[in-house]
Each structure stands twice: as structure tokens, then as C-alpha cells.
Structure 1
């Protein structure tokens, strides 16, 4: 780490829980962020600012005017640009030391599996169960930690599945291998702008903890009610009959 990097990350390096070694682990870390919308925007910007060495940004959607109310990685000049590329451009303006790989095609099948296997941590910032299920399956197969976030209206959710641990639950332990395909999205039901910033920032924090080894990763499921300002936490154990991870040892 050179003098410029020591100065840039000095406020983190002085944290006893992180220290120089933890910062070095961040700088050699690789995070895959799937979805560069409301959740992925703040997560990507904070991970880059904090010194994560490599970010793979995956999103096949383009920036729309209606996104700008909450998707802070994008601006008016980015309308009609791929969100992954727009986020990479924003990251370059924050921290040129962060390497970004841009994927503007939908990650699925073997392409998804390879992308997950190359990453140290995966952030699921999507809003469809079909995508969440596929990402979870890929993370289970690769043993890659998964940080899942969700936000709708005034309600947010956060869950971390540290799949390096053979006893840890997966996303399907919580929701099963099927869900209501008619579940609501922000486009259909709305969302208050700062809520996605909160949940996305928590996802970034959990990724930093997983990469650096500081603290204890979040366990179970936490939900946030933006109207009351209250968090609720629910314990989550591994389902021995889970259709996705029951064969994992």
C-alpha cells in the first residue's frame, strides 16, 4: 500500500477491528453486484470508496428517468445508458483504483455460475424471485457468500448467507424453491427513495465484513419499517429438507 492509499483509507485503517491487514484484504477482494438499481447503486459506490479492489457490475437494464429518484449511481446524462456502465463511470470518478468489470447481459446458466465462482462475495440487488433463486443456487454451488437485500414501499429486508459455512442456511431455506411470481416490484408499487439507500448500504457493510474478516456477519433475516423506524430480527436455521442446499456438506 503506497502513501496515497494509506491516506485515502486512513479512516478505516485506524479502526482496530479492520486495521492495515483488513484494508489489504479489501483491496484484493472481488465483489459481484447483480442489479445496479436502487440497492446496487449505493452498494457499489460505497464498496468502491471503501477500497474493494474489484467490482463486477451486472445489469442488462438501461437508465430511465423514473430511476433517478432513488438510483444514485446514475444521473440525467446517463439516461438510456446501461446501468452497469453508468455505475462503472460513477465509480471511476470516486476511486480510480477500483477495477470494474461491466456485464450488460442477463446473468444466467453457466455464465452466472462462472461469475459467482470468481467472486469472493455476491450482492443480490435484484427484485424478481426468478433471479434471486438462480443467484442463490449459483452461490450454493460455488460456496460463495450471498448478501441479499430488498426494498418496497416503506419496507426493507436484509439477509446474509455465508455459504462458506456448510451449516449455514441459503435463500431457499427462507423462501423455498418457489414463490409468488406476481410479487410486487418498485415499478408497480413504489418505494421511498432513502430506503433503498439504507438497505444497499447495509449490503455494502456486510460485504466489507465478509471480505475483511472484521466483526460478525449478519445472521438471520432483518426487516425495516420505514414508517415507524423500527428494525425486527428473525433467526434463521438451515432447513434439512431444503430443495437447494440439503445435499451440501
Structure 2
């Protein structure tokens, strides 16, 4: 069965397209050209063990303009279990405590000062059937800073960013943007690219695949408090 949040934001109704330019790229036009090359035109999720499953690209006015595109990206590959088997759950925590050098290079001082030690978590969930299908969630870890999720190109024009307070979470689809400091001059966002094609327009819905992808019903390790 498909978890409720995933069913509400199915990939099938969201065409994804767009081009990449500078650090000021619009969120609705920020899908990475490199990730599209990885996804290609596959009509089913494709993934090889050990490869990254998603990329976050930092964009917006709060980014240092001299930093090239390839140095504004964070890629995540799920680590294997000690037994060598693939994990069903893994995550990337974003914040000053985890990527200090990266954020100091990429963000301007005003934007960097708003980034919490542990700001947000991007969770990766893999189908229990052992296939290459993935689903992704973002969870806000900050007590003082909202994370806003904005659907990428293909969403309804009237859609507004969804604000996540501490511990709130939301499913991610290819092309979504995680926005920080919204409405401020030093705002920035993380453009999410699904490299597995699980949530792109080519991917089938979980119900069509007959798979169980239910991250919201599984136990996951706790995290220390973040500010």
C-alpha cells in the first residue's frame, strides 16, 4: 500500500522539466541537468548499488555567487548494512554540525548564520520487496527555523510553500525545493533531484507496482535535539 502522504503527492501527475543556470535559479526551474542525464528516459526506477540516490543543489540569493554549480551539490548514497545487504532506511542530516566546511563555502554570512546545527533530515526509504524503488521524506529538525517545501515545475501555479515546524515531515518528489529564510533577502533553497527516477514523471505509482513502500509505519533511529 502507499502511505497517505505519498498518495496525495503522486509522481504520475507531475511532469518534471527545466534547465539549470546560476545560483539564482528559480525553484520551479531548478532540476539539475546532470540528474536528468542519470534518470534518462527510463519508465521504471533504475538504481545500482552504491550510487547516490539523490542530490541537493543549493540555490538562491543567499549563495556565494563565485561558487560553481558542482560545488553547491550534496549527493547521498545509502550505506550498506554490516552484512552487506541494502538498508531499507537511511538519511542525510543537513546542518552546520554535519557539513560545516561546505556551508561556509557556499552560503553568504547572513544565510549561514540562520542554518541550525541540525536543520533538516532527508530520509531515504527503500521498497521492502528488494526492488530499486525509493521514496523520500524531509523532516524539520530545527526549533527556531521553518523549512518550506515548494513543489517543482509541474505543480499547480497557485500552490504555496508548505511550512514544516520542528519534527514535521513531508514526502519529496523529484524537483521539489526546500526553502530557507523565505521572504528574506538572504533566502536560499535546496533543489531535490531523485536520481533513481522513483518519483519522477516516468515512475509508476507504488500501487501500480504492487509494492509496500510505507516509511511512515516503520521504526527509525531517534535524533538528538537540534537548535
Same fold (TM over 0.5): no
More helix as a share of residues: 1
Q: Looking at both structures, which has the greater relative contact order when contacts are Cα pairs under 8 Å and sequence separation is at least 6?
A: 2
Q: Which has the larger radius of gyration?
A: 1
User: TM-score, with normalisation over the residues of structure 1?
Assistant: 0.27
